[in-house]
Structure 1
Amino acid sequence: MTHRVRIADSDHAFDVEEGESVIDAALRAGLMLPYSCRSGTCGTCMGDIVEGSITYPDGLPAAIDSEQDSNGKALFCQARPASDLVIRVNEVHDAGDIRPRRLPARVERMEECAADVRRLFLKLPRDKRLPFLAGQYIDFLLRGGQRRSFSLANAPHDDELLELHIRHLPGGVFSGYVFNEMREGALLRFEGPLGNFFLREDSDRPMILMGGGTGFGPIKGIVEHALYTGVERPMHIYWGARAWPDLYLDHLPREWAAQHPQISYTPVLSEPAESDGWKGATGFVHQQVVKDYPELGDFDIYMSGPPPMINAARTAFADAGLPPDRLYYDSFEAAPE
């Protein structure tokens, strides 16, 4: 049986399927409610039941006592509706509503995607989860007060592991460690989530999403979040790289485009090798965007990648009529050693 949940003092409502928690259903509907552990042990997700009733699958969770329960408090990461509900809880509306935290993480898995790119999958302690908005990043905390920033490449609903795409930079302290020394099981510390690069869900305009190199990572997270929450507005994904092997997860956007009519995908190579037999678009990725869309006034654009790409694209997109408040970007600046 499906139950309807409405958030008091707002116009937001969503359906909760049989056996589903309120938090999981809210995430599926594209709404972010406060949470942390998602196991009932921290109390971050506590709110009020204004109307209706709930149950807990395994009895009263650790972070709520019987007095709070009898006074209408609930832990929404564990609560299952037993009727339609009206709840009162502080929604997360933008990145400023999520407080960054310092957490440990263990390297659960590493995958080599290209000669100089690895996917890193991190697992938090058993009682911890990281609330974040699709597209945000984390800072790894290194010795001597150094930090290295990497974007999250997974969507918020899929947060059992945190995914990052790491490119090996010559002389890079952290990337050198990842490629030359790191093993599965290694322990790391980070602070996050950080940044204001995330999907604006209150817009109905078509989207252009442009990634350069490993800038595809946060684009991946945004697209997966949009698909999970049922966004149906057109999304045209552009991925710029030097040569064909640098499109290290090329099959993913091709699958999205094949399975979802609102998605288009255009990979662009700046220096394709003759051996690649490349027959697709060539040149700089932002130039291909303007070639395909000479008038950008009706679009939202999300882009992530190296500073030269970002700076050139900002100028080109403004010349094509894109209002500055509809351009969202994440510049992958290399940290000084």
Structure 2
Amino acid sequence: MKKSAIYQVKLQDKEKYFECSDSDSILEGGLRHGLAMHYECSNGTCGACKAKLVKGDIKKIKHHDYALSADELDNQEFLMCCHAPSSELELEVDLIGDVRSIPVQEIQIKIKNIRFINDEMAIVSVRTPRSKTLQFMAGQDVELSFKGVVSRYPIASCPCHGMDLEFHIRNLKDNEFSQLIFSKQIKDKDKLDLTGPKGVFVLKEASTKPMVFIAWDGGFAPIGSLVEHTFSLEMPNPVYFYWAYPATDPVPYFDNHAKSWHAVMDEYHYQTIACEFDRSNKNDCHKIAKQIYDSLDHDIVNQSEVYISAPGEVLIYLGEFLLENGLNEAQLIASPI
């Protein structure tokens, strides 16, 4: 069997490079390396992934229904989803600039699998149609709807996974959507309506500072999306992840997954923080924030970009502690759950 060749692809005027196999589409290669490329269908129907070939040779690897105009063909434009490199390439490509340039989309998605970690947490995996893939940035969230019942959840997966999305849904008595999940009224192969993306909890990709990620319990979902995006971008920044959780649980619900990131990042430090917390009662958010704060390495925190995903009150108190201790407000990026 012939071994695939690997070629370097350069994006003109952006000082960005990625490697792509001659058996993968250029779009797949770019997304896998964390580049925010425009696309919708990934199967040659919509034309959103057009790029201009500046240097090098490409080969068509699948048919596309989208018809390029004569002017576009003369301008060396092509669809990245249907072509692979056959040499080193230089391309002219428009990338998504920021969250404001991503439109809110409405997509009907299908549940692939619901995995119950325990009686309190479900991992819901869904798939978008090939003709309508969700365009989003790591850390953003969406609204999910089932028969008129709507709730908002952060996307737990990285944009590099394309059509496959993941959500972490906790069993909350006052959340009707979660009750449909845990009563199994929503099940595998059911269809949901998705609206999004929303939110501005996104990565500072140009920063060279160390990155500190702090999650409370299910706040792991958007934090996980951000962390996985850092290594798809191959960012060299040291990463410090603190995961706070109720001490009544033996470990955080996705502890092994968080540990597995040691294999893909050279400078990755992971620490769990067991907090006194009772899910059945109202809790002292100030006390929980102080427990988290006391567990941090503040010398590292103050020189880092700090990303926090926690309940609103915990986030407010923790943010106050950090700013009073010398963290620059511009280095604090936070999202309530």
TM-score normalized by the length of structure 2? 0.87
Distance 1:179 1:302 in 2: 30
**Is the CA contact 2:215–2:223 (under 8 Å) kept in the aligned structure 1?**
yes
Deviations 1:45-96 (A, max 9, x none): 112223333211124x111347343542211122212333332221112212
Distance 2:162 2:68 in 1: 27
Quickly say closer, same or farther: Cα 1:152–1:34, change in 2 above 3 A: same
Question: Which one of the candidate residues 153, 159, 174 is aligned to 1:156?
Answer: 159
Question: Which one of the candidate residues 313, 322, 326 is aligned to 2:327?
Answer: 322
**Is the CA contact 2:113–2:125 (under 8 Å) kept in the aligned structure 1?**
yes
Question: Which one of the candidate residues 306, 310, 313 is aligned to 1:305?
Answer: 310
Quickly say closer, same or farther: Cα 1:272–1:137, change in 2 above 3 A: closer
What is the alpha-carbon root mean square deviation over aligned residues? 2.3
**Is the CA contact 1:269–1:284 (under 8 Å) kept in the aligned structure 2?**
no
Partner of 1:39: 43
- Describe how 1:88-99 pairs up with structure 2 within 5 A: 88-99=92-103
SS at match of 2:313: helix
- Describe how 1:32-181 pairs up with structure 2 within 5 A: 32-59=36-63, 61-65=64-68, 67=70, 68-141=72-145, 147-180=150-183, 181=185
Deviations 1:264-287 (A, max 9, x none): 1111122379xxxxxxxxx73664
Q: Runs of 5+ in structure 1 lacking a partner? A: 274-282, 333-337
**Is the CA contact 2:25–2:83 (under 8 Å) kept in the aligned structure 1?**
yes
Instruction: List structure 1 segments (4+ residues) > 6 angstroms apart after TM superposition.
Output: none
Distance 1:221 1:134 in 2: 5
Question: 253-262 or 130-139, which moves further after superposition?
Answer: 253-262
SS at match of 1:244: coil
Partner of 2:255: 250
**Is the CA contact 2:323–2:329 (under 8 Å) kept in the aligned structure 1?**
yes
Deviations 1:275-326 (A, max 9, x none): xxxxxxxx73664445432343311111112112211111011012111111
Distance 2:35 2:263 in 1: 27
Whether 1:202 and 2:206 are equivalent positions in the alignment is yes
Partner of 1:14: 18
TM-score normalized by the length of structure 1? 0.87
**Is the CA contact 1:290–1:316 (under 8 Å) kept in the aligned structure 2?**
no
Quickly say closer, same or farther: Cα 1:34–1:258, change in 2 above 3 A: closer
Distance 1:305 1:211 in 2: 6
Partner of 1:270: 275
Identity fraction in percent:
26
1:182 alignment partner AA:
I
**Is the CA contact 1:106–1:123 (under 8 Å) kept in the aligned structure 2?**
yes
Whether 1:284 and 2:288 are equivalent positions in the alignment is yes
**Is the CA contact 1:204–1:233 (under 8 Å) kept in the aligned structure 2?**
yes
**Is the CA contact 1:209–1:301 (under 8 Å) kept in the aligned structure 2?**
yes
2:274 alignment partner AA:
L
SS at match of 1:77: helix
Q: Runs of 5+ in structure 2 lacking a partner? A: 279-286
Distance 1:120 1:310 in 2: 26
Partner of 2:232: 228
**Is the CA contact 1:268–1:285 (under 8 Å) kept in the aligned structure 2?**
no
Quickly say closer, same or farther: Cα 1:171–1:246, change in 2 above 3 A: farther
Deviation at 1:256, TM superposition (A): 2.2
Quickly say closer, same or farther: Cα 1:204–1:290, change in 2 above 3 A: farther
